[in-house]
Each structure stands twice: as structure tokens, then as C-alpha cells.
A and B are shown apart, each in its own frame.
Chain A
Amino acid sequence: MASLAPTFGRGAMTNHWVDIKNADLVLIMGGNAAEAHPCGFKWVTEAKAHRKAKLIVVDPRFTRSAAVSDIYAPLRAGTDIAFLGGVINYLLSNDKIQHEYVKNYTDFSFLVKDEFTFNNGLFSGYSPEKRSYAKTSWGYQLGSDGYVVTDPTLKHPRCVYQLLKKHYSRYTPDMVSTICGTPKEDFLRVCETIAETAVPNKTMTIMYALGWTQHSQGSQMIRTGAMVQLLLGNIGVPGGGMNALRGHSNIQGLTDLGLLSNLLPGYLTLPGDNEQDYQNYLQARAFRPLRPGQMSYWQNYGKFFVSLMKSWYGAAATRENDWCYDWLPKLDKGYDILQVFENMHKGTVNGYICQGFNPLASAPCKVKVAGAMARLKFMVVIDPLATETSEFWQNHGEYNDVDPATIQTEVFRLPSTCFAEEDGSLVNSGRWLQWHWKAADPPGEAKSDQAIMAGIFLKLRELYQQDGGAFPDPILNLTWNYRQPESPSPEELAREFSGNAVTDIADPKEPGKNLFKVGQQLNGFAELRDDGSTACGCWLYSGAWSEKGNLMARRDNADPYGIGQTLNWAFSWPANRRILYNRASCDTSGKPFDPKRTLIYWNPVTGTWSGADVPDFNILSAPENGMGPFIMNPEGVARFFAVDKMAEGPFPEHYEPFESPLDVNPLHPQNSTARANPAARVFTDDWESFGTADQFPHVCTTYRLTEHFHFWTKHAALDAILQPEQFVEIGEELARELDVKAGDSVRVRSKRGFIVAAAVVTKRIRPLQIAGKTVHTVGVPIHWGFLGLTKNGYITNTLTPFVGDANTQTPEFKSFLVAIEKV
């Protein structure tokens, strides 16, 4: 999300599951789709069977995905930017790029400020004390007309193309091999195969997941992949895309609805504490076009924001009070999970409501998380199961060796329903909002999450009404018009997200006639207004429940054009568009790059864009108007140069993981600041919790198995039977060194703790030659704990470091250091 939006404009899977069948080449890297997404993986199988597609897997381990691949290349965990930077260098050096695409649909020709520099591993503006950048130099040269200056010849030394070429010229095949440990011939074979899709009628799709996200430079890994796809012209086309496979069935819905500390619904953002003024807040977000004739859709930010505030605060939100802008919290910093547990650990958080989350098992560095929880006065756990979190204070022998007498935290468990016990919608990776119906009544005293939250809210409101208190306005004025206030229905909430008319809305073309009558459901976000006449809980979902009814419940899988765009199946945000940026599937004259895979096209007779998909574009804008396909970006094109949108620089650069077997970054051996991500946040006390290669020589990576889902299915008999007991995976050579045979018990230690598990000795993990030394990988699946039907095990996150990605703070679960020994 934090990488695709700075590149393309929106942070979501560009294509969707079914469309993967249209690919000629599938690259699985930073993920293991066959393992973690076996049902979605069927579309890879379809592409192979029906389009003769090839599958490349790049991974530290020979995975279940690799088992059915055509090409496998190993790499060291945490070095994906080096690998992909090498691919970019290969494509540019060998002229394997789609010229018409990059010239017209990316920022290749844009000129960058002269002050922007990159020296010795650091971009201009770095402050070592703050561990962050002043980003003023990370921008374009603007002309007197306010537009970016461009050089269509691409010869200007300050144009993005030239800067890009220079930046990645250092990523030679030898450098890739040194950093990643990938044999050079394997790397080149991958490059050659990827390069075949630079032609207009061949496409590659990239499928990735948490194998890219969970690094201290995870967002930039994803961005590097996105840049490869742009060079090849593989964005906005069928069978192409950057396909972020979400790790939970509704995690896309979570981010869409803004359940991150800095977000509001629909990727609107919370103000910072230096943004006390509404107009300033708005102006900083309603981007004006940076090139002539561009849509720059965020210009409508005010319409989305006002409609959101009308949805929340109804009549209390007025133009005079800036739509209750003052009631929104203003952030001094992000409150991601690492920050919150840091605060809890410091004793500045007293109470914690934990809903649908098992942080004792899911958050990094168990000793710190457990210590943080022990400092709470109270914790409320809302979950269908007894989780490790809810029982963190119990002694479970070696697996949770705590002394309950020393823990004073009061824990309340509120049993909730699970997905099969409730109606509602789930948003899948491909942005489809799919309605589902409950299959069974919940057991015992379990209540739906919205009933539990409603209960807490109504009680709080009652207390504020009775006793008053500091700043009661946002609580007392919150719209709560549900038929059963103590249990809002999923249908009511879905209608609220989709949006309706707050007043009658007159038709400007026909005086006396109304477009909408008060209370009517709207058709989509184009109808939202910033005058208070519309309410919409999440502008991206607008239209999901219109006057036509619940479009999320549609189950018509008709595919009239035969390329997998089933427009009457569920509802896809935005506006039921299935492939984002689909204007880019056509050339500048509006004709499809690949006529055999026509998605949309310009019809000069009707003067409209149409086709198999809903155009992600102004359907009336003729090609000669020059409007770019990336309508969310004020540039109208996709960005190689991410301007000021990323924490660690406009171009992705390889940095070592915080715990790395290398003392220096081979790209910047002289600069210790550029060893690990210089812009990643590290809490002061945590520096000492990082181990070094002399004590912890092996690279460790953690992951899921197909037999389980997180820490949940160990409570299910069938899954417990399939994968009953904790294990770790090591290569045969390391096993020989340790005198370990398959099934032996081993202890894996990091600086933060240890686990003991059975050893799976495998050919699928091989030693890598990294900068002249042999490096072994240790693989640790995550699924065990001290509750459930499986054999009890250690929590894997006992081992992992308390540091995250510089943009998202997603923890670095995928690459850290361990030692291992036989027990």
C-alpha cells in the first residue's frame, strides 16, 4: 500500500485473482502463493495450462510454489531490492523496455530538481540525528506555468530516465550475486525470461505478499517490483500488474476502511498536529494537476472528506464548523503496533482493547510484548477463541514461562462471532467486496463485533451524558441511527459506507427535477459533494449498495468478453473497475496494445471508452486530449521517481536487514550509516536487542504453512492432524555441520530468546555464497503456541526483532539472525 500508491496512485492489487489466467509469465517473489493462497493459485495453473505461461519463483527456500515452477532462483532473505535493481539494470542496459509505454505513461521525461543528489548510499537531506530526511530536494523542476518541466527526448541529465539509469547501473549481475547469493547464471536466466515481456503482446504478472512487506525496507522492495513492471509496460493490462496478495481474507477491507492509526476511510488521512486549520489540511491533499490536462482525482478530496464527516456527525457537521474538523485527532506521530507496544512497555498505556488480534503471538519480540502487557492495568480481548494474548499471564511451562503472581493486568474476554457466524462483506486481494451469509449461529454467549462495540459505545455515551467530561462532543454527536442501537446490522453499515443523499439534490440540467431525494442511496463517488448534501462512510465503496440494492451480493459469473472480467460478480472498488489503470492497456491513440486481449478501447464513433472492463478513466476524454492513465497522480503518469512519498528515498536502494551476516552494505562499504535502512525508526532501547553475525551466524526467515492459518487453526482438529507439531527447516549441509538428522530436536536462538523444535532437514534450503562467505538460511514456520489442539510449541516471534519498515512499520519478520544447536 505504502509503495504502490506512491508509484501508481492507489495502494491495492492492480489486477485481480481471475485475471492472473491472462498472464504469459508469472513471477512469484516475496510470497509463496501456492502455500499461502492455494485457492488463488489456481489461476496460475490456468495460465500455465491454457496460455503456456511460465512461472518463475525467487525465494530463499524452494517452496511449494517453486515445486510447480519452470525457473527457480534462490536469494538471501532481505536482498530483493538488490535482485530487482539488477533486473532494472539488465532491462535498461539491454533496451528491453516498452518504449511507447514508458515515454507516455511514466515520468521518464520529467526533470528533477538540481539539488537532489545521491551520494555514498544517502539521498540529499539526511539527518543522522533524526534518522530521517528533509525531502525538499526530492521534487520536480517546475515551469512558470506551475507544470513540471519535461524533456521528451530523454537526453537531459536531470530527467528521471537518466537518473534512473545511473542509479541502477551499480546493480551489475556480479553485485547481485555478491549481495543475494544468487548464482549469476540463474539471475541472468530470470532476467532474460522477464525481458521477453517487454513487447506489447506479452505480459508478466508479479505476485507478492508478506515476503516483501515484512522487511525494514519492505515498501521499497515492492516499489522496485513496480518499477520493473512499468519498464515492461505491464501495468493496467490484462495478465499484468502488481498483485499484492493479502494475508487475511479481509485485510484489504481493513486498510480501505482506514483501520490504521494515520488513516481515515478510503485512504483519506488524519491531520498532523501542525494541521489545525481545515483549509490548509485540504489544500495539502487536494492535489492540483502537475501536467496540463490531467485528471488528478484527489482534487475531489473535499467531497470525500465532507461526505465522511456528514456520515459520522450528521446535522452537527456544518460548513460553519468546518464539518467538525476540529473533532478529529491531530497526530504527533504514527501509532502503529510497534509504537503502541513501545509505549505500553514504557508504562504510558494503561488499557488495551484487543479486537481480532493475537499480538503475543503475532507481534515481534515476545519478551517485549509480554512485558508490555504485564504493565497494563486492564486488557479487553474480543475474539472467538482463547488466544495466547488473553492467557499471556498463565504459566505454560517452557512455552510461556511467566509468574502469574507478578502480573496484575486484569484481562476481560469478550467472546465474538467468527466469520461463518455472521453476515457481511469481505474485501479480497483483488478489491472485490463480496457479501457472505452466516452459516451457523454463534455458540454460547458470543456476540458479533459490532454488538460488542455498540455496547461499549452506548455505555460510554451514557456516562458522558450523565457525568459530562472533557471534550464529549465527538461521542455525544456521533450518528447512531440503527434500528437496534445495541446491534447495528451489517446491512445498515454497508449502506452507510456506500453513501446517500442527506437532502434532496436538484438536477442542474432540469430545474424542478431532483437527481436524488433525501435518503436515497447514491450510485457512486462521482455524486459526492462538499456542500453537506451527501453522506458517505467510505468514498471508495460508494455504489456498493445503491438503489439497485446490494451489489456485493451479486453472483453472476458471466464473462461476455472471455477474458475473466466478470462485472456482475460482487462489486469491485473503485466504481466496479476490475483492472486499475486500464487506460494504459491502450496506446496513445486509444487502440489496445494487444488486440487479442482487449480490455477497453476508444470508440471514435460513439466518442467513449468502453470494453470488457469499466474504464478507470474519464470515459469521454478523447485520446488526443492527452489525459494520462494514472488518474490519481497529479502527474497523470506513474512515478519511477517517487518524489517525497517514501521515507528513505525517491529511488529504492538496497540496504541490509538490521540483523545481517554482512558488516557492511557491499554497495556502500565505506558508509556504516548506509548499512541498514537509514530512515527506519529504531527505539533507543532496542538497538541492544539486535544480534551480530559473530554470535548469530545464520539468516532466519519466518513464514506460514498451507496447513494452518496464523495462530488460529491450531484450534481446529483437521488442521492439527495435518501439521501437528512445530518444526524448523535447515539445509543438509548445515545439518551435517550440526550433526542433526531429520526429526531431531534443535534450539534456535536469537538475541531476544529461543525456541526448540523438530528439525526438517531439506535439500530445499541451500547454502548461499554471500560476499565470499557461506551463509545458511534457517526457516521457521509461525503457527504454534501454548493453546489449541496441536502439540504445544514455542511462539516463533520470540525470535524476531522489534523494528519495522520505514514507511509502514511492518515488522522485519523475514530476515534476522539466529544461532542453532542440537539439543
Chain B
Amino acid sequence: MALQSLDIKRRSATTTPSPRVRATLEIAKLIDLSKCIGCKACQVACMEWNDLRDVVGTNKGVYDNPADLSARSWTVMRYAEVEPAPGRLEWLIRKDGCMHCSDPGCLKSCPAPGAIIQYNNGIVDFHQEACVGCGYCIIGCPFNIPRLSATDNKAYKCTLCSDRVAVGREPACAKACPTGAILFGSKEDLLEHSGGRIADLKERGYRNAGLYNPSGVGGTHVMYVLHHADRPELYSGLPRDPGISPLVVLWKEIAKTVMGIGLGAAIVGGIVHFLTQGPNEINEEEEETL
């Protein structure tokens, strides 16, 4: 979704410098899992705001429905029944969706100019009109978020309601959340707020309560307050130390550099050849043989 009112920081497969005049506030969404009751109001708000209607599925023996993210489900609740200590049952419910990484693996891996962009405020957005449907963003994402649509063969994911944020509104999910488990604001404010929540959880006996804002992707613009920050994998497999896939790094950084060097060397070689040997001349004999 192209938005003129948000300054673009980076575009996929593009080197044009970004605008740097306006002072843009870095925003974030803080999802406090200790306040989440798994009501799925966020899923409904997302479907309504974004005009999405996934298929009416089936029950696979769990509360999760739709069962997974899809091109028509940009956020889903994941329910995990865990026993962090023997005899102590916890039902850990996590709203899954794009984390809006500071260092987005999807954007890095995308070969289509302008299909993935990162705004100065931190939102990572897909512009489907430029998407070529190669699926590299899926490989590049450490959180397994983007999904290709079978309808139009383009990739979709949470936009962090970039269209709402651009006009000063909170994301639809944050507005709908009945318990205030989803907060939206400046990343700085939310980091401070999370400190108070973590202190409260520690008082209630969650000694390892903490914030999920992983450095492997440069921090994220969707952060979680976790009761068990030492074991994020308890929350339906939230990665402990997410980073961009080595394949993407190999392809986009090493291989590209090597290729760049190769391409540069070829050009330089050509120039040197021209300067030392002069232009390539073809005599009549050679022309005839051709």
C-alpha cells in the first residue's frame, strides 16, 4: 500500500537515497501476553479493517482458528498449554503476526524493486502491486510470517495498519483489544511502560519475566511482554534468537558483493583492455568468415 505521507527508509532492490528532512517518531506495538485472554477480537478487527475473510475451516483439536496465518489471515492467536514447572499449568496465548523488524529479512531478500518497504517510523510494508510472487520474503523471514496468495500469487502480511498509522490512528487490533493487552505508541514510551509490567509480573512470581525485542533482527516494532522471557519457545515456538537466514546473507550480502566485484572487475578489465589495446577492429577477412 503506497503511502505518500510516510517517509520511506528503505525499498527492496533499490539504492535510491531516502528522504531525511522530516522528524519521524519511531513507533511500536507492545503485546502484553500476561493481559491477553485470547478472545480473538484482534483477529476480527484485522479482518474487518483490511477487508479480509478467510475460509470457514474445521476444528483440528485446538482453539486456534484459522489454524495458521494466510494471505487472508494476517494475525492469529496461538494457544499453548505448558507446564513450566511440574504441576503448574499455564495457558500461554500469543498473537502471532509480523514483528516489523528493524533489520527486516523479508526486505533484504526481496528482488522486486519497491515490493517491500520500510518506513522511517519502523513499519515494514508489502506493496503487492510490485510483488513478483517469488516467495523469497518467506525464506528471509525469521518468524515465518509472509504468505503467498493462491489467488493472485502475491505475498501478504500484517501492515501494522500503516494506513491508519499514517493518519494518526492506532492499529485496528490495538483499538479492539478489550483488556489493553495490545498497546500502540512510540517505541521509547512502550519500552519504559514494559518495565513496569515486568516488575509487576516479577512480584507475582514470574522471576524471568521480560521483554521480547530481539537484537538479532535489530529489535522489532512489535514487542511482547513475556512471563517467561528466558523461554520464548514456550509461546508456540517464538524463536529464542531470531536472525536473518544465512542463505539470505549469503545471497544478498556475500554473493552480491562477489558478483559486484566480478562485474566491476569485468568493466575495469574492459577499459584497461581498450586503453592498452585500442578498439577492437574487424578486417574484411574476418567479416567474411562471420
Contacts and interface: CB of A to CB of B under 8 A. Distances in A.
A722 B200 contact: no
Contact of B59 (A70, A760, A764): A760
Contacts of A68: 34-37
B44 A743 contact: no
A720 B56 contact: yes
Interface stretch (B60-68, B131-139, B151-159): B60-68
A45 B35 contact: yes
A315 interface: no
Contacts of A727: 59, 61
Nearest to B57: A724
A725 B37 contact: no
A367 interface: no
Tier of interface size on chain A: 35 or more
Contacts of B91: 62, 64, 66-67, 764
Interface string B213-237: 0000000000000000000000000
Interface string A54-84: 0000000010111110101000000000000
B38 A791 contact: no
A70 B37 contact: no
B55 interface: yes
A39 B60 contact: no
A62 B89 contact: yes
B65 A744 contact: no
B13 interface: no
B55 to A, nearest CB: 7
Given A62-B91, A760-B63, A52 B39 contact: no
Interface stretch (B46-54, B108-116, B257-265): B46-54
B62 A742 contact: yes
B61 A758 contact: yes
B59 A726 contact: yes
Contacts of A759: 61
Contacts of B40: 706-707, 722
Q: Chain B contact residues: over half helix, strand or loop, or mixed?
A: loop
Interface in B71-127: 81, 83, 89-93
A725 B180 CA distance: 29
A619 interface: no
A311 B178 CA distance: 41
A769 to B, nearest CB: 15
A721 interface: yes
Interface string B185-198: 00000000000010
A39 B81 contact: no
A720 B59 CA distance: 11
B200 A49 contact: yes
B54 A721 contact: yes
Interface string A762-801: 1110000000000000000000000001110000000000
Contact of B65 (A67, A706, A722, A743): A722
B39 A38 contact: yes
29 contacts: A34-B37, A34-B39, A35-B37, A35-B39, A38-B41, A38-B178, A39-B178, A42-B180, A45-B180, A49-B35, A62-B91, A66-B91, A67-B91, A67-B93, A68-B34, A706-B37, A707-B39, A707-B40, A707-B65, A718-B44, A721-B47, A721-B57, A722-B44, A741-B61, A743-B59, A758-B61, A760-B61, A761-B61, A789-B56
Interface of B: 34-41, 43-44, 47-48, 53-63, 65-66, 81, 83, 89-93, 178-181, 197, 200, 203-204
Interface of A: 34-35, 38-39, 41-42, 45, 48-49, 52, 62, 64-68, 70, 72, 706-707, 717-718, 720-727, 741-744, 757-764, 789-791
